[in-house]
Structure 1
Amino acid sequence: MTRPFAAPRPLAAAAMILTAMATMGLIDNYVRVIAETTGLWQFHVVRSSMCLGLLAIYARLTGTRLQPRHWGVVVARSAILSVALVTYFGALVLLPISEVIAGLFTAPIWVLLLSALFFDKSLGRVRIVAVIAGFVGVMLVLRPDTGTLTWLTALPLISGVLYALAQIATREWCAEETALTLLFGFFAALGLWGLVGLAGLSLFPQPVPAGPEGFPWRLWGQMSVAAWGWTVAQALGSIFAVGLIIRAYQIAEASFVAVFEYALLIFAVFWGYVLLGQTVDGWALTGIAVIVGSGAVMVLGTRGAATTEIPAPATPEATPGPQAR
């Protein structure tokens, strides 16, 4: 489906993504507080209800369009992105967190591959190098235990593929939609998944460990005052951060924007140090330096406009037949 694109604004998109990652790195440090007394699916329902209500009020007050121009693509994008995140959260229950996050952070690599294979995009060598370098930096920070790899390890990889596809779709399918419309679709889809999770736990109750360990299995907890406060913060912060991410992917190529999502790890480490006094070792600091370097390479390559392009794979229609060879 062809959409008329506005002129790309890569540096503005990079600034939006970095701001969004800083916000998410901050609020996600307090998910553990929410998890003390709340269930995962309860959290999705409560947060999504807050977000949808706030977005509806904002749309009404400002006269901003909330209804999609093209229902099919908005529903498809919302479904793909929500399945990616539900798969991610499911993997968190079954696998070490470092492996799960590492799998999700393969998304920029999948963005490159999917952009070339299915959306006929040309890939510059600068982008390829930056994406690979950023992923190496992620591995240095997380250092997942490869000795524990099983078939379940495919779950976070699947999450990364779906997340990448959804973000490509933001520009390729949904360029004509408002960020508010896409935000509403995203939170509506997550809220529906929350209801599905609650229904599943109602039919098949599970033993619930005390504290954050019971987060995935708790049906409906008695949320503490702190949990309510940080859920409100999550709602407000998520609207702000996800809105910036959506807009960034709308105004620049996905293969450029995706590299800057690696910054989430940097901000998570930063806020962990500032708020919780958590420290990192030399390997992690090296990884952070590599991630910063990959972003710098991407920005400098874009400003220089001297990127050597690798053509995307030819579409079947453009591939010469035997008679043309």
Structure 2
Amino acid sequence: MISADRTVAAAGFILIYAVLIGFTDNYVRVIAAEAGLWQFHLTRSVMALTLLGLLVLPLRLRLRPVNPRAVLARSAIHGAAMLIYFGALAFLPVAQVAAGLFTAPIFVLLISRFAYGHHIGPVRIVAVGVGFLGVLMVLGPSAAGEASLAALLPVLAGLFYAMGNIATREWCPEESAETLLAGFFAALGVLGALGVLLLTLAPLSAPEGAAGFLQRGWVWPSQGFWLWTFVQAAGSLLGVGMMIRAYQVAAASRVSVFEYVILPASALWGWLLWGEVLTPMAMLGMVLIAGAGGMIALRAQAPLPA
């Protein structure tokens, strides 16, 4: 049982997570050009679980859950969040999807306060507001598009993501990071397999390229798909493991603010890999994001939670 928050350590885990995920997620566009969402999740999960299995003996990992029901519930919630997130990318702008997902810290604060009675002081409330404003500045005007039922899907992903992050600490405090990691990829693998099966029995007409990511069933992909899906599997295995560890050592309402660093990390990789240049507004937004994380880290030294 974790007896005290270790906010600085959690920030380090999240930084590693952001750098890895920022790199691997930049190549989802390459994968989506020829394969489908369901095949991607199934293949990536099989690869990740295989890698994890190979590490069990040399690293003496513990995969058996202490509370199987809690691990199953958390895995299903986090799996649903990622499924909705990647699925929404098929028919919504990336900026709008990302803005919706990063409503998660707001949901974390609300759930922590009203479901678990945790004290949420003004500093963390302001930090979330500052961080979210920074997110909108990084994403640009397109993030504030017209509201629609489809536009609510990324926000739904943010709600599930927040619930899963809270469940990591509240439901699974005695679980090892590798147990939760295995559960996460197993849930996504099962969801991917179900999607592939349904699209095999009742195939849909999928547009060419990334536009057909959601509707596309099983295809015979190129070597590029296998390569970048393996990179995704290995990067996600380590990155998500770091994220899980962060939520185990610090309160979800603190750690969730640090996750804003994923956006500048992704933007940096986008510039290095694809030559995508940030606007001055986006750069100012990243400063606000860093400031939000700093507010939480500094306040963590205070005797009362904030």
Equivalence for 1:18 = 15
Q: Does residue 52 of the first structure (1) align with residue 38 of the second (2)?
A: no
Q: Does residue 31 of the first structure (1) align with residue 5 of the second (2)?
A: no
Which of 107, 113, 118 is the equivalent residue of 1:116? 113
Which of 67, 90, 93 is the equivalent residue of 1:93? 90
> Which 10-residue stretch deviates more, 95-104 or 69-78?
95-104
Q: Deviations over 1:56-87 (max 9, x none)?
A: 22113333221101111000100111111112
The whole-number CA distance in structure 1 between the counterparts of 2:267 and 2:117 is 36
Structure 1 residues 36 and 308: alpha-carbon distance in aligned structure 2, compared to 1, 3 A threshold: closer
Check the 8 A contact 1:208/1:217 in 2, yes or no.
yes
RMSD between superposed Cα atoms in Å: 1.5
| Stretches of structure 1 lacking an aligned partner (at least 5 in a row) | 310-325
Partner of 1:182: helix, strand, or coil? helix
The Cα shift of 1:131 comes to 0.9
The whole-number CA distance in structure 1 between the counterparts of 2:237 and 2:4 is 25
The Cα shift of 1:213 comes to 2.2
Equivalence for 2:199 = 201
> Which 10-residue stretch deviates more, 125-134 or 60-69?
60-69
Equivalence for 2:3 = 6
Partner of 1:262: helix, strand, or coil? helix
The whole-number CA distance in structure 2 between the counterparts of 1:172 and 1:21 is 23
Check the 8 A contact 2:136/2:143 in 1, yes or no.
no
Equivalence for 1:132 = 129
Partner of 2:142: helix, strand, or coil? coil
> Which 10-residue stretch deviates more, 292-301 or 203-212?
203-212
Q: Deviations over 1:117-158 (max 9, x none)?
A: 111211122111111100011111113354521122221111
Equivalence for 2:168 = 170
The whole-number CA distance in structure 2 between the counterparts of 1:197 and 1:109 is 31
Check the 8 A contact 1:81/1:162 in 2, yes or no.
yes
The whole-number CA distance in structure 2 between the counterparts of 1:85 and 1:60 is 29
The whole-number CA distance in structure 2 between the counterparts of 1:241 and 1:229 is 18
The Cα shift of 1:94 comes to 3.3
Check the 8 A contact 1:125/1:308 in 2, yes or no.
no
Amino acid paired to 1:255: S
The whole-number CA distance in structure 1 between the counterparts of 2:150 and 2:36 is 23
Which of 219, 222, 234 is the equivalent residue of 2:220? 222
The whole-number CA distance in structure 2 between the counterparts of 1:306 and 1:176 is 26
Structure 1 residues 263 and 235: alpha-carbon distance in aligned structure 2, compared to 1, 3 A threshold: same
Rg comparison, structure with higher value:
1
The Cα shift of 1:210 comes to 2.2
Check the 8 A contact 1:125/1:307 in 2, yes or no.
no
> Which 10-residue stretch deviates more, 21-30 or 204-213?
204-213
The Cα shift of 1:24 comes to 0.5
Equivalence for 1:312 = none
Check the 8 A contact 2:38/2:191 in 1, yes or no.
yes
The whole-number CA distance in structure 2 between the counterparts of 1:134 and 1:242 is 21
User: Identity of counterpart residues, as a percentage?
Assistant: 47
| Stretches of structure 2 lacking an aligned partner (at least 5 in a row) | none
Check the 8 A contact 2:81/2:157 in 1, yes or no.
yes
The whole-number CA distance in structure 2 between the counterparts of 1:191 and 1:27 is 18
Equivalent pairs counted in the alignment come to 305
Q: Deviations over 1:208-254 (max 9, x none)?
A: 22222222222122222222111111111001000000000000010
> Which 10-residue stretch deviates more, 196-205 or 245-254?
196-205
Amino acid paired to 1:231: T
The Cα shift of 1:290 comes to 0.9
Which of 245, 248, 252 is the equivalent residue of 1:247? 245
Equivalence for 1:74 = 71
The Cα shift of 1:174 comes to 0.6
The Cα shift of 1:205 comes to 1.6
Which of 61, 77, 82 is the equivalent residue of 1:64? 61
The Cα shift of 1:36 comes to 2.4
Check the 8 A contact 1:126/1:307 in 2, yes or no.
no
The whole-number CA distance in structure 2 between the counterparts of 1:115 and 1:69 is 23
Check the 8 A contact 2:133/2:285 in 1, yes or no.
yes
- Give the TM-score normalised by structure 2: 0.95
Amino acid paired to 1:38: A
Q: Deviations over 1:24-68 (max 9, x none)?
A: 001111112222222211111111001111112211333322110
The whole-number CA distance in structure 2 between the counterparts of 1:18 and 1:71 is 29
